[in-house]
Amino acid sequence: MSADTSGQLLVLWTSTERETVDNMVFLYTMNSKIKGWWEEVTLLIWGSTARLVAEDETIRENIQGFLENGIRVIACRKCAENLGVAEKLESMGIEVFYTGEFLTEWMKSGKALLSV
Protein backbone atom coordinates (compact mmCIF):
# COMPACT_ATOMS: atom_id res chain seq x y z
CA MET A 1 0.00 0.00 0.00
CA SER A 2 1.43 3.39 -0.95
CA ALA A 3 1.63 6.43 1.30
CA ASP A 4 -0.99 9.14 0.94
CA THR A 5 0.50 11.81 -1.34
CA SER A 6 -2.65 13.87 -1.81
CA GLY A 7 -1.33 16.66 0.39
CA GLN A 8 1.89 17.25 -1.56
CA LEU A 9 2.35 19.84 -4.31
CA LEU A 10 5.38 20.54 -6.48
CA VAL A 11 5.44 23.86 -8.32
CA LEU A 12 7.84 23.59 -11.26
CA TRP A 13 8.85 27.20 -11.96
CA THR A 14 10.40 27.86 -15.39
CA SER A 15 8.88 31.19 -16.47
CA THR A 16 10.84 34.40 -15.99
CA GLU A 17 7.94 36.51 -17.23
CA ARG A 18 7.54 38.88 -14.28
CA GLU A 19 3.75 39.23 -14.31
CA THR A 20 3.42 35.44 -14.29
CA VAL A 21 5.95 35.16 -11.47
CA ASP A 22 4.23 37.78 -9.30
CA ASN A 23 0.60 37.01 -10.10
CA MET A 24 0.65 33.23 -10.37
CA VAL A 25 3.79 31.45 -9.19
CA PHE A 26 4.33 33.44 -6.01
CA LEU A 27 0.68 34.00 -5.13
CA TYR A 28 -0.37 30.39 -5.54
CA THR A 29 2.74 28.91 -3.93
CA MET A 30 2.45 31.05 -0.79
CA ASN A 31 -1.33 30.79 -0.47
CA SER A 32 -1.17 27.03 -0.98
CA LYS A 33 0.89 26.73 2.16
CA ILE A 34 -0.47 29.45 4.47
CA LYS A 35 -4.10 28.73 3.66
CA GLY A 36 -3.60 24.99 4.04
CA TRP A 37 -4.63 24.02 0.51
CA TRP A 38 -1.67 21.62 0.50
CA GLU A 39 0.15 20.19 3.51
CA GLU A 40 3.54 20.19 1.82
CA VAL A 41 4.55 22.65 -0.88
CA THR A 42 7.81 22.49 -2.80
CA LEU A 43 8.99 25.11 -5.30
CA LEU A 44 11.43 23.83 -7.92
CA ILE A 45 13.52 26.55 -9.58
CA TRP A 46 14.44 25.31 -13.04
CA GLY A 47 16.20 26.89 -16.00
CA SER A 48 16.60 30.63 -16.33
CA THR A 49 14.56 31.27 -13.18
CA ALA A 50 17.74 30.42 -11.26
CA ARG A 51 19.38 33.56 -12.61
CA LEU A 52 16.28 35.63 -11.85
CA VAL A 53 16.36 34.49 -8.21
CA ALA A 54 20.06 35.25 -7.89
CA GLU A 55 19.82 38.72 -9.43
CA ASP A 56 16.49 40.17 -8.25
CA GLU A 57 16.17 41.47 -4.67
CA THR A 58 12.37 41.34 -4.63
CA ILE A 59 12.40 37.75 -5.86
CA ARG A 60 14.93 36.85 -3.14
CA GLU A 61 12.69 38.42 -0.50
CA ASN A 62 9.78 36.30 -1.71
CA ILE A 63 11.91 33.16 -1.60
CA GLN A 64 12.94 34.00 1.97
CA GLY A 65 9.26 34.33 2.86
CA PHE A 66 8.59 30.89 1.37
CA LEU A 67 11.36 29.35 3.45
CA GLU A 68 10.12 31.07 6.61
CA ASN A 69 6.62 29.70 6.00
CA GLY A 70 7.74 26.09 5.58
CA ILE A 71 7.80 25.90 1.80
CA ARG A 72 10.64 23.73 0.55
CA VAL A 73 12.62 25.57 -2.14
CA ILE A 74 14.89 23.54 -4.40
CA ALA A 75 16.82 24.29 -7.59
CA CYS A 76 18.29 22.32 -10.44
CA ARG A 77 22.05 22.18 -9.88
CA LYS A 78 22.89 21.75 -13.58
CA CYS A 79 20.88 24.86 -14.50
CA ALA A 80 22.37 26.85 -11.62
CA GLU A 81 25.90 25.79 -12.55
CA ASN A 82 25.34 26.62 -16.22
CA LEU A 83 24.17 30.09 -15.19
CA GLY A 84 26.91 30.60 -12.58
CA VAL A 85 24.49 31.04 -9.66
CA ALA A 86 24.66 27.77 -7.69
CA GLU A 87 26.60 29.23 -4.75
CA LYS A 88 24.30 32.26 -4.55
CA LEU A 89 21.21 30.05 -4.39
CA GLU A 90 22.77 27.83 -1.75
CA SER A 91 23.69 30.88 0.34
CA MET A 92 19.98 31.76 0.38
CA GLY A 93 19.05 28.41 1.93
CA ILE A 94 17.82 26.87 -1.31
CA GLU A 95 18.55 23.16 -1.76
CA VAL A 96 20.56 22.88 -4.97
CA PHE A 97 20.91 19.39 -6.45
CA TYR A 98 20.52 17.52 -9.73
CA THR A 99 16.73 17.41 -9.90
CA GLY A 100 15.99 15.38 -13.04
CA GLU A 101 15.54 12.12 -11.15
CA PHE A 102 13.61 13.88 -8.35
CA LEU A 103 11.17 15.37 -10.88
CA THR A 104 10.78 12.07 -12.73
CA GLU A 105 10.02 10.19 -9.51
CA TRP A 106 7.54 12.90 -8.47
CA MET A 107 5.63 12.61 -11.73
CA LYS A 108 5.64 8.81 -11.71
CA SER A 109 4.28 8.81 -8.15
CA GLY A 110 1.14 10.66 -9.21
CA LYS A 111 1.73 13.55 -6.80
CA ALA A 112 0.36 16.97 -7.74
CA LEU A 113 2.54 18.97 -10.13
CA LEU A 114 1.95 22.54 -11.29
CA SER A 115 4.26 23.67 -14.08
CA VAL A 116 4.55 27.39 -14.78
Taking every pair of C-alpha atoms in the chain, what is the biggest distance, in angstroms?
A: 45
Mean pLDDT by 10 residues, the chain (116 residues): 71 96 97 97 98 97 98 98 98 98 96 96
Q: Where are the alpha helices (DSSP H) in 6-93?
A: 18-20, 26-34, 49-55, 57-68, 77-82, 86-91
Q: Are residues 109 and 103 in contact, defined by beta-carbon separation less than 8 angstroms? A: no
pLDDT for the residue numbered 2: 45
Output the pTM of the full model: 0.94
Q: How far apart are CA 60 and CA 41, in angstroms?
A: 18
Please provide residue 12's backbone torsions phi and psi, each rounded to the nearest 5 degrees.
-90, 110
pLDDT for the residue numbered 6: 78
Q: Are residues 56 and 45 in contact, defined by beta-carbon separation less than 8 angstroms? A: no
